[in-house]
Amino acid sequence: MVADSLIIFCLTLAWLLPLAGCVVISVLRLKLSRLSAVPGWIGTGSLLVAFCLSLISAGVWLMTSPAETAALQASNVSDVAAHETGNLLQRRLVGHWYSLAKFGEIDFPLGYAIDALTVLMFVLVTMISLAVHAYSLVYMADEQTESYQDHHLDHSAGETSERPGRFAHFYAALGLFTFAMLGIVLAHGLLQIFVFWELVGFSSYLLIGFYHERRTARLASMKAFLMNRVGDVGFVLGMTILLATCGTLLLYPVHDLNGTTASSVPMALPEAFQAAVEKAVPSQAIHDQANLIPTEQGISYALLVAAGLGLLAGCVGKSAQFPLHPWLADAMEGPTPVSALVHSATMVAAGVYLAARIAPLLLPEALLLLAYVGVVTLLLGASMAIVARDLKLVLAHSTISQLGLMLLGIGVGAWEAAIFHLITHAFFKSLLFLGAGSVIHTTHHEQDLEKLGGLRAHLPLTSLTMLIGVIALSGLAVPYVTIFGESLGFSGFHSKDAIVSGTMAFVLKNPHHILLLISVLLGACLTAAYSLRLWLKLFARDTPVDPALQQVHEGPWLMTWPLVVLAFFAAFCALGGEEGFVSTLVEESLSPAPAWFSDSTGEVVSIQWTNASERHAVHGTAGAMALAAAWLGALIAWALYGLQAISSKDLSHQLTPLVRLASHRWHFDTLYRGFLVLPILNLARHTAWIDRILIDPFIDGCARLSERFSHASQWFDEAMINRFFDNMASSIWASGLSLRKAQTGHIRQYVLLATMAVIVLFLILFAWMPGDRAGP
């Protein structure tokens, strides 16, 4: 068990190192000059060590996994044998560090759950974060100053362009962000995931609003924060329902050193949820009994569906899915390295990652809804990307679209394919964002595609690496040329094929959902079209559109080597396709399908789910259809922007209504403003009017009345009460002065007065005494 302890130690340390870097930078920035690059090197160094520790963990895991599997098979441990998936045996390390709170049998521990996907995600996140940290040493170097000039400010709105540099602040926020994302990956309970989930949202708020002097950046960060909170309300409701119905929020049981489940630990959430599903009472029966949760018969099936929908609401918000997708495009207000990190392997990926982890907790109704949400988002994002003029906006809309494709995969039951695409997407999308950053940096922050172009000769390495990313994103491959039994293509081709195969297998068993397959093929065509359009507009012309751009050149090695490394993995990380190394690790680590997944158990919908063999059976056909759609989109883009055989302006003019809708992001911002923002502002305005016209005068009148009453009370106190007591005191004082004259000090006078007083008393006494009345 030394290997297990080493893995746990390395991953825990790799998780904490970015936080340590954040704390050190935050302390040192109070003492270091703003000109110093030390904060950047501290942040980069902490990520370098974290990445190395993740690699060590991966190596130890791969070396010990076969031996561990053989030992478990020899010991016939029933709990582990129950998790067999095909020829692979799941291996998971689960434990607790500390118990946050305990209420009876319900425990909320701080712990870890490590499997092959955890190790893979640690390597992925730390690698991309390290690339972004190193890249930012050059890209954010202009923040190393006492007086930073921001030329993107609106001076007419009173925004001042001069401020102190925030180089240390940037790296501290990056470290906090990476720590939060790794915390989500390492966590083994929904409550622990939610804590780091919120920390990811907070740190992204800091990064998106990094240029907070700009009004657009402030609004973008607030928009991202609030839209994510909308989804998080559903997350909390889902957790509450699961805690009430299942009694736990832990995703995995804790095993002892022999591999058996600890007897003192309650049932894990997937098993408890499955037991709850088996005892669930149909909603109609509950309605007839006028009893929401009859304790003798079980719980409401609708309540279990609501739990899954609540959790998915959090995933939809975090992954910028319809209808909570508008925030992601505005998040481009942050620095470009932030976009590469946030929109590739971290924040937006967290929603898809969690959706795959909780897939056994999603009933058919929730999964089908998720599939259609993914399809709508896929097409919305692609349509917006194909007309966007801003370089970063194209990639932002592309991210929205690709995340929709991943959630579609989860919705049709192919969650292994969704995570497979999540990993490949992390590489090629971070490559494209950093490539875009290289273009923006060398062209003095120019992002308009209509003003760029002809940069291939000036930025040869950037153009080549971005071409690799574009091909991977497009899902293109060379037909009839195979390697390791798969068509010759880059990573995106293999992972997209897996999702399309899952969708086709699902549609073959559920023909009434044919719209899902048509939409995913249309999405593949649009993806290839906007991807190649982006590259052609940037690099295809012979000379730059703007003569001032003819002097640009590649950036320093700290900006170029991340592009080369990411381009390599974008091309070859999915080598072997669904039978390759990455896909195999993903399949090994994800939880197996629950028992109800093999039949149609939905109360509202009737779904026939597919298995891996059925998806593999249609892989060839699905791959050919997806490849044909991708090549069709690529040829259209080549004809429009490469050969220019068709005028793109004429085509846009003929499709003006659609182009206008897509250019305005389908007016979602307008709809939200009209149906949510403005009504709330109007309500606030009317509330302020009521406060100003009614409440304030009433309160002010009460205050004035109290003031006048206090004045009257003061007059009464001074004129009556005080004067009465003052007069009484004066009278007593005067009496005292008068009696004082009788005090002469002569004893004879005192004796005479005493004698006279006695005589007077006797006279009074005898005068009042009754006389004797003699009888006759």
* Residues 460, 539: Cα–Cα separation, whole Å: 9
**Distances 546 to 391, 451, 555, 643 between C-alpha atoms, Å:** 16, 6, 19, 21
Helix, strand and coil percent figures for the chain, each rounded to 5: 70, 5, 25
The highest-confidence range among 11-25, 570-584, 731-745, by mean pLDDT, is 11-25
Lowest mean pLDDT among 279-288, 411-420, 612-621, 753-762: 279-288
Return phi, psi of residue 132, to 5°.
-70, -40
| Conformational region of residue 413, where left means phi above 0, alpha means psi within -120 to 50, and beta covers everything else | left
Structure tokens, 385: 């990307």
Per the prediction, the chain carries an average pLDDT of 84
Q: 292 near 286, Cβ under 8 Å?
A: yes
Residue 721 belongs to what domain range?
A: 671-746
The structure tokens 């930078």 sit at: 25
* Residues 664, 329: Cα–Cα separation, whole Å: 12
pLDDT score for 258: 44
* Residues 189, 640: Cα–Cα separation, whole Å: 50
Higher pLDDT, 15 or 65: 15
pLDDT score for 463: 92
Question: Is residue 738, in this structure, part of any structural domain at all?
Answer: yes
Q: 210 near 335, Cβ under 8 Å?
A: yes
- The rounded percent of the chain whose pLDDT value lies above 90 is 43
pLDDT in tens, 524-551: 999 999 999 999 999 887 666 677 777 7
Question: Quick one: pLDDT band at residue 289, thresholds 50, 70, 90?
Answer: very low
DSSP 291: -
Alpha helices, DSSP H, located in 1-37: 2-28
Does the pLDDT at position 130 exceed 60?
yes
Return phi, psi of residue 96, to 5°.
-120, 140
* Residues 223, 201: Cα–Cα separation, whole Å: 11
Q: What is the number of alpha carbons within 13 Å of residue 434 lying toward its C-beta?
A: 37
Question: Quick one: pLDDT band at residue 664, thresholds 50, 70, 90?
Answer: confident
Q: ∠ CA(335), CA(341), CA(345), 5° rounding? A: 160
pLDDT score for 479: 76
Task: Look at residue 112 and give its three-state secondary structure.
Answer: strand
* Residues 352, 593: Cα–Cα separation, whole Å: 17
* Residues 667, 673: Cα–Cα separation, whole Å: 10
The whole-number average pLDDT for the span 663-681 is: 89
The CA-based dihedral angle spanning residues 724, 726, 728, 733, taken in that order and rounded to the nearest 10 degrees: -170
Question: Is residue 679, in this structure, part of any structural domain at all?
Answer: yes
Q: How many CB atoms lie within 10 A of CB 299?
A: 22
pLDDT score for 604: 63
pLDDT score for 21: 94
Question: Is residue 705, in this structure, part of any structural domain at all?
Answer: yes
Question: Is residue 720, in this structure, part of any structural domain at all?
Answer: yes
pLDDT in tens, 180-214: 999 999 998 899 999 999 999 999 999 999 988 88
Domains identified in the chain, total number = 1
DSSP 136: H
Neighbour-count burial for 689-717, b at 16+ CB within 10 Å, e otherwise = eeeeeeeeeeeeeeeeeeeeeeeeeeeee
* Residues 203, 267: Cα–Cα separation, whole Å: 34
Q: What is the number of alpha carbons within 13 Å of residue 26 lying toward its C-beta?
A: 11
Structure tokens, 394: 């194209």
Question: Is residue 719, in this structure, part of any structural domain at all?
Answer: yes
pLDDT in tens, 219-256: 999 999 999 999 999 999 999 999 988 888 888 876 54
* Residues 269, 187: Cα–Cα separation, whole Å: 14
Nearest-CA neighbor of 361 among 299, 278, 305, 419?
305
The structure tokens 């370098």 sit at: 48
Question: Quick one: pLDDT band at residue 482, thresholds 50, 70, 90?
Answer: low
Q: 470 near 456, Cβ under 8 Å?
A: no
Q: Is the peptide bond before 323 cis (omega within 30 degrees of 0)?
A: yes
Question: Is residue 471, in this structure, part of any structural domain at all?
Answer: no
**Whole-number CA gyration radius for the chain:** 38
Does the pLDDT at position 458 exceed 50?
yes
The full 3-state SS of 346-362, as one line of letters, equals: CHHHHHHHHHHHCHHHC
pLDDT in tens, 510-528: 999 999 999 999 999 999 9
Q: 614 near 511, Cβ under 8 Å?
A: no
Question: Is residue 108, in this structure, part of any structural domain at all?
Answer: no
Alpha helices, DSSP H, located in 443-510: 460-474, 491-509
pLDDT score for 544: 67
Does the pLDDT at position 265 exceed 90?
no
Question: Is residue 682, in this structure, part of any structural domain at all?
Answer: yes
pLDDT score for 771: 58
Cα-Cα end-to-end distance for the chain: 135
pLDDT in tens, 461-477: 999 999 999 999 999 88
